[in-house]
Structures are given as structure tokens and as C-alpha cells.
Structure 1
Amino acid sequence: MMFAPSDRPGDPFHGNDNHSLPFLESQLSAPGPDENLKFQPLKVRVQVPPDLQWSVFYRLQELSIPCEYSSENGVGVEIEDRTTAIQLRCVLHRFIAPLSVQVNWLEHCFELEGN
């Protein structure tokens, strides 16, 4: 299973410059705060440019996220819960998102903090 790109215009994580960042929207958006909803663990292979694969793998290890790396297959990640999915999304955002998108996201965070 691979990540599907987001096509949500105006999303502060993606900006409006047609750059999208892969994420697990279907797994992260549960209908309501029902604690009985179970997260289905996933094993995924993330699509990362070859020159960034080691950096992504190393950062995931720092966060104690179960992952594997091989030069042939890239980075594989085991997503056990929603927190891990969000952490993975943040790591990918850090390494993959264009600078304009990262600036937009940071500005959005400051706007939320000011409210």
C-alpha cells in the first residue's frame, strides 16, 4: 500500500502551488471521538526521493517508529496507531514539502496560536 496524495486546495499543509504531500487521511479522520474505533495497523512503503531516503529512515528511527530501509526498496514503515501516522506525516512534510508550503504551514500555526 502506498500513500495517496492529497488534492485539498487551500490546505495549510499543502499550500496552493499544486504540490501535494502524501498522508493517511482515511486512517486519521475517524468519525467522531469514539474510543472504540480501532486503528488498523499498516505496513507501507513510502515514496521518497532516493537522496532523502536515508535521512527519512534515520529520523523515523529517532522517533522509535518501526521502519526498514534497503537501497532496492526504499523506506518501509509500520504504522501502529494514529500518533505514528501523524509523526510519519510530519517527517515526510519536513523532508519533502517545498519551502513555500513549509512557510505557509508555519504561518498558519502562528495564526492559530494568536487566536
Structure 2
Amino acid sequence: MQYNKPLLTWLVAAMMTIFLSGCSSWVYRINVPQGNFLEQSDVDKLRIEMTKEQVMFVLGTPVAKDAFDSSKWHYKYVFNIDRDSEVRKSLVIHFENDKLVKLSGDFETPAEFNTPLDN
């Protein structure tokens, strides 16, 4: 019996590709958190009229500072739990005259936010 060698080679290659593609879910993927992990308790420490240095002391260095507008800092966090779900959190800090004036994003504004710290 004589086989068509190119056709047999192609069939073997196609079968191996199909079998190996099923193994991709076996690869262990480590979940790496990216960005600034913040909790509501961290945000609760913020007060109106805090300086940029005080905010950085409480929350750490922001992931991104707006290159064209130094009055906004962005704190972002992404964590992939598995292939279908991920956790995303964002907090934007707004400054005027280098003093904290407003928060926006996925966190609640603290109840005591409008009470400035004693200097």
C-alpha cells in the first residue's frame, strides 16, 4: 500500500495542532496585580486641602500623572482573577493650587473629607 507522503504529513501536523491546542488551559498563569491597590480605608484618610506630599504619603505614588495637567493624579488597579473576570478600580485625585479639592472614581468620598486637617 502506498501513501501520499505530503498528505500524510499535513494530516499528522493538523492532528498535533488540534491536540496541543487543548493543552493551553493547563498552563499555569500567575495572577499579577497591576497598579495601586487601594482600599476604602486608605481613601478615608484623605481630607480637603491636603498637599500633594500628604496625599502621596497616604496613597503612595500614582500610576499616572497627567502630563499636560499636573492638577490630576490617577490611581488605577487591575487584577485578573481568571480568564473571564477581572477587578478594576480607579481613583482620580484633583488638585487646585497644589491642594486636594476633589475625588472621583470607584471609591466613596469619605464622610469627613470636607473637614481639613489642622496644620
User: TM-score by structure 2 length?
Assistant: 0.23
Which structure's relative contact order is higher, taking Cα pairs within 8 Å and 6+ residues apart? 1
TM-score normalised by length of structure 1? 0.24
| Greater helix share, structure number | 1
Larger-gyration structure (1/2) = 2
